[in-house]
Amino acid sequence: MCTYYRNECCDCRTGGERLISADGADKTAAGAEVTNATVAPAIAPTPISINNQKRVTLNQVVSDEFVGPVLPSATPTTTPTITPAPTAKPTVKPVAKRYRSLVLSVAKDYVNVRKSRSTDSKVMGKLHRGSSAKILKVKGDWVKIRSGKVTGYVKKEYVATGARAEKLSTRFGKNYAVVKKGTDTLNVREEKNTKSDIVTQITDGDDAIVKSISKDWVKIKTDSGKVGYVAKEYVSTTLKFKHAISAAQKKASESAKSTSTAKEPSGKSGSAVVKYALQFVGNPYVWGGTSLTGGADCSGFTMRIYEKFGYSLPHSSAAQAGYGRSVSMSSLQPGDLLFYKHGSSIGHVAMYIGGGRIVHAAGKKWGIVTANAFYRTPCCARRILG
């Protein structure tokens, strides 16, 4: 804010006029005669300057008369008052609704999610840097949150909220295109026009990483690694964040890490393959990943499992569908690979473990899990062994 900082006056007097009567007597303007018998010759007034005012000498007496006509009193000069223009208040962009109830971890590595508002209470999970959580309530220096499967308290100093969280969102989040409800199948095209070749297809609820956005098209990368363009009107884009890892998930992951090195696969039966694969349940899903402990995607998971048994598979679900031999759904055995389509193309692979169930790297939200083999309809099955 600026502050502005902000006389002089004068007055004039006039004396009586000097008059000489007909008999030579000296009179004042008031008419009183001068008593001198001898009249001295008139002396022309000599102007002098005193304090910038012109005065005259008369018979060696200084008079306070101005030379010339009587001047009016000068009008005092006044500096005009300048009223400062009102300071414009800075425009504050309102925080987007999503970030009014969301926190992002700004801890150097992670912040513990605790059961109660005490650093001595039980650790329920860990909220890693950049991971998000929903605010349930704020009390003192603690924030109660829910993130993934974890609910508990974190210290307020380790999380960003409101405008700060919104500002950090593009650094920590990943932009995804999500197929809008009611769109059964969406073509992913090679170029930004409806006449170009179809690379693959995605369906209602599927999401894909956004590479770029133009006026009418969104360039995406699917879970299967296919890159192409989808019509913008059929997808919505959203930033997605990682969630907290629960204590149980962390324990399972650490257990998997220790057992994966301690228990090497024995034999080459389907049951041996499944037994080895199940050690990694609870580990994270990482798109493009091939680490059974640090994170893998669906084809990276099956590729690494079979690698331990001496089989070399490509890192692509569609390509893996060309390996081994075809088997029917009625003759599935543990260790067989089941394939699922995204639109018209194969986009996911899982391992059959028996009893109508599978083990697979399901996605970022779930990690490596077991599930119903027919949660979606498999398009084909392949037996790698034998």
Helix (H, G, I), strand (E, B) or coil at 370: strand
**C-alpha count within 13 angstroms, C-beta hemisphere, residue 175:** 12
d(CA 380, CA 338): 6
Four-point Cα dihedral 378, 382, 384, 386, nearest 10? 130
Which string of DSSP letters, residue by residue, matches 122-172? PEEEEEETT-EEEEEEEETTEEEEEETTEEEEEEGGGEEEHHHHHHHHHHH
171 contact partners, CB below 8 Å, separation of at least 6: 130
Four-point Cα dihedral 319, 320, 326, 331, nearest 10? -140
How many CB atoms are closer than 10 A to CB 368?
26
46-50: strand order across its sheet: 46-50, 53-58, 61-63
Q: Which residues are catalytic?
A: 298, 348, 360
Q: CA–CA distance from 199 to each of 106, 216, 221, 343, 361 (Å)?
A: 39, 18, 11, 10, 23
